[in-house]
Structures are given as structure tokens and as C-alpha cells.
Chain A
């Protein structure tokens, strides 16, 4: 798994690649919580994500909760394949704002 952080409009863009699991979700958590602590809204780009386990999903849920409490946004973009199925299985697709791609976010 690797991730990089860039800017998209007024969002921080967290691009995840590969597999997020028990061994590396803590790194994603640290990065995500740092961004939110800075008062920035965040897009988590799933387009190159092959797999995410429940520790990864739990990290995003924690992030969304913090974002909501601070009037920030946490948007998932480009979910496909197994990660999309995990979102559906856990019904978190009804909790997160999910868009097809980063390009769909205009403001």
C-alpha cells in the first residue's frame, strides 16, 4: 500500500494505492486525522485501491465523524471492485458521500 497527499480545489486529496489492511491502516489514520486537524476537508481517492479491510473502513468512519463535528467534508471518490463491495456490505455507502471520480468534485 502507498498513499500520497495533494490538493484538489480547497480539498486535501488522499490517494490510496494497493491494499489497506491491519498492517498499514494506522499510517492512513495518522495522515487522515492530521489533515482534519488542520481544518481541511478531504477527498479519499479509491480509484487505485484494490482492497480495504475493516480497519481501513473504521479509520474512514472515524475520520468522517471528526469531519462532521467540525463542519468539514470527507468524500470518497472512484470506489470500484472489492472496496466498493465492502462499502455496500457494511452499508457505509449510505453514510459517506461517494462520487465516481475526483473530477466530479467541482467546488
Chain B
């Protein structure tokens, strides 16, 4: 991080759980203005949970997530609503409303949050569709799109308001290699042209190494390392090395905990 960098999101001592199951342990992470931060880790490492906490969709057990002077964990509805106007979220499967056309899905945030003229809204929508290589798909229904198209349409909706912060959950998952590379380039272009701060959750190494300024590696809910691509590649922590070399996890079995899980609730 440079000394002049402005911290946009500050995650402090974050613990998060689903019921009794603690998923995130003491996460400390800062996101700089204008950077592309990739949150990387295997399935079940807590990536999506961290994202849900950052979006205010989930309350942590302890800790804070500050956007400037607003802590989203204790923010009022009005504060969260204001914050969310500066955020765009592209969900893994696109999350389009199936009863609306692609165009109407993308227009939805503008119609809900602005009083822009309908001509402006239509042109903005087509500009974003062009950007996503989805020209002439405006009138199609989501069910008529492929998985990759749905993802791009979801991204178009996420960036329709030109958000300051874009959250992108698994951009490359389920895409063919060419579309995946195109999407990586698009993320880089969005950052440079729109000065967006972009947080990408992925387990795709190649994509992470291509787009990231910094990578945060999660393993079993713990932040193992946050660093540049070179720092991650040079990291000697076995968990990071295994992730990079795609080695399967070796789970050391805790016999007592295992037995306790199996017999929970039994007399």
C-alpha cells in the first residue's frame, strides 16, 4: 500500500458465524480506493461469507466493517441504503428477475433510484449491454440466455449506476476460457475508465493473478496472507502453496471434535 492511498473499506477483527458454526476468524483487511482486491480461497473457506458481511447482508458476531465513517455492521437502514447506492454487486448466477426482460432488469436500479429521463436510461442500458457484448439482447428474457450471458447481464446491472465499489462474486466460474479472459479485461477497463474499486471473490487462480492489485487468501475462515501477486506467489505458507499448486487439503482429524459432531444431540 502506498502512503497516499485512501482506505475505502476497513475490516477489523471480524468474526462471523452461521448459528454455532464460526466461519470467519478475526479477519483484518483494508481495501484501497481504486484497487482491485481479489479474495481467494477454496470452497468453504469463507469468501462468500466475507462478501455478505461487507455488503451488510449478514451481521458479524464481533468486529467492524467501516466504509469511511459508517460501520456497516451497526449502520441504520438509511445509512445502509445510502452506502448501497455507491455499490454494485454482480452475483454468481447473475440473479436477474426472471419475469423481466434483460433490458428491464438492467434499467431497474436507475428507475428505482434516479429521476433520469427514459431516453437517457435506455441509452445507458444499451451502452452497458454493448460493453458486455450483449448488444441486441435487451428484449430477451433471462431464461433465453446462456450461463455466461446471464453473468454478463448481471454485471451490466451491477455497473449501470457507475458504482464507486463493485463486488463481483466468482466472475469466471462456469465460463469458457475466452469469455473468462474477456471478462478479466473488462474488469481492468472498468477500473481504469471509471476509477472503480473492485472486490472480486474467486477461486480461479489465473483470473486472480491477471486482475488483482492485491490478493487476500482465506483458508478455513482465516486470512492467511494479503499481498501483491508476486508476494502471494512467493509465499511459503503451506496452505497458500497448496492452493496455488492445486493440491488437495489434508485435513488433520480431531477425534474428539469428530465424535462430538457425529453424536451431537444424542443421549
Q: A22-B114, A22-B161, A22-B162 are in contact. Are A58 and B194 (CB under 8 A)?
A: no
| CB-defined contacts of A62 to chain B, threshold 8 Å | 119-120, 123
Q: Which of A37-45, A69-77, A85-93, A97-105 contacts B (4 or more CB under 8 A)?
A: A85-93
* B-chain residues with CB within 8 Å of residue A22 when the two chains form the complex: 114, 116, 161-162
Could you count the A-B residue pairs with CB atoms below 8 Å apart for me: how many are there?
Answer: 57
Check if A61 is an interface residue, CB within 8 A of chain B.
yes
A-contact bits for B110-130, CB 8 A (1 contact / 0 none):
000011110111011001101
Specify which chain B residues have a CB less than 8 angstroms from the CB of A58 in the assembled complex.
119-121, 123-124, 127
- Once A51-B195, A82-B193, A82-B195 are accepted as A-B contacts, the answer to whether A57 and B127 lie under 8 Å apart by CB is yes
CA distance A20 to B195 in the complex (A): 14
Is B116's CB under 8 angstroms from A61's CB? no
Interface residue tally for chain B (C-beta within 8 Å)? 22
Q: Is the CB of A53 within 8 A of B116?
A: no
Interface residues on A, range: 20 to 34
Contact with A along B88-122 (1 / 0, CB 8 A): 00000000000000000000000000111101110
- Are the C-beta atoms of A90 and B127 separated by less than 8 Å? yes
Contact A89 B123 (CB under 8 A): no
B120 to chain A, nearest CB (A): 5
- Give the residue name and chain of the B residue nearest to A30 (CB): B117
A90 touches B124 (CB 8 A): no
CA gap between A9 and B33 in the complex, in Å: 42
With most chain B CB atoms within 10 A of its CB, the pick from A55, A57, A61, A82 is A55
CB of A15 closer than 8 Å to a CB of B: no
Q: Which residues of A contact B121 (CB under 8 A)?
A: 58
Whether a CB of chain B sits under 8 angstroms from the CB of A59 is yes
Hey, which chain B residues are within 8 Å of A21, CB to CB?
A: 162
Chain B residues within an 8 Å CB radius of A55: 114, 116, 120, 124, 162
A12: CB under 8 A from chain B?
Answer: no
A29 pairs with B162, CB closer than 8 A = no
Task: Say yes or no for A26: interface residue by CB 8 A criterion.
Answer: yes
State how many angstroms separate the Cβ of B135 from the closest Cβ of chain A: 11
Confirm or deny: A54 has a beta carbon within 8 angstroms of a beta carbon on chain B: yes
Q: Among the listed A59, A86, A88, which residue makes an inter-chain contact with B120, where contact means beta carbons less than 8 Å apart?
A: A59
**A3-19 interface (Cβ within 8 A of B):** none
Answer whether A85 and B192 are a contact pair too, CB < 8 Å, given A25-B116, A53-B162. Answer: yes
CB of B131 within 8 Å of the partner chain: yes
Provide the residues of chain A in CB contact with B127, threshold 8 Å. 54, 57-58, 61, 90
B189 at the interface (CB under 8 A from A): yes
Expressed in whole angstroms, the Cα–Cα distance for A69 and B119 within the complex equals: 16
A62 CB → nearest B CB, Å: 5
A86–B194 CB distance below 8 A: yes
Distance (whole angstroms) from the CB of A4 to the closest CB of chain B: 22
Q: How would residues 180 to 204 of chain B score, 1 for a CB under 8 Å from any chain A CB and 0 otherwise?
A: 0000000001101111000000000
Chain A residues near B119 (CB-CB < 8 A)? 58, 62
Residues from chain A with a CB closer than 8 A to the CB of B128 are 54
What are the residues of chain A within 8 A of B120 when measuring CB–CB? 25-26, 29, 55, 58-59, 62
Query: Can you identify 11 A-B contacts, CB atoms within 8 angstroms?
Result: A29-B120, A53-B194, A54-B162, A55-B162, A58-B120, A62-B119, A62-B120, A85-B193, A86-B194, A89-B190, A91-B130
Tell me the A residues contacting B by CB distance below 8 Å: 21-22, 25-26, 29, 51, 53-55, 57-59, 61-62, 82, 85-86, 88-91
Q: Which 6 A-B pairs have the closest CB atoms?
A: A58-B123, A85-B193, A53-B162, A89-B193, A58-B124, A58-B120
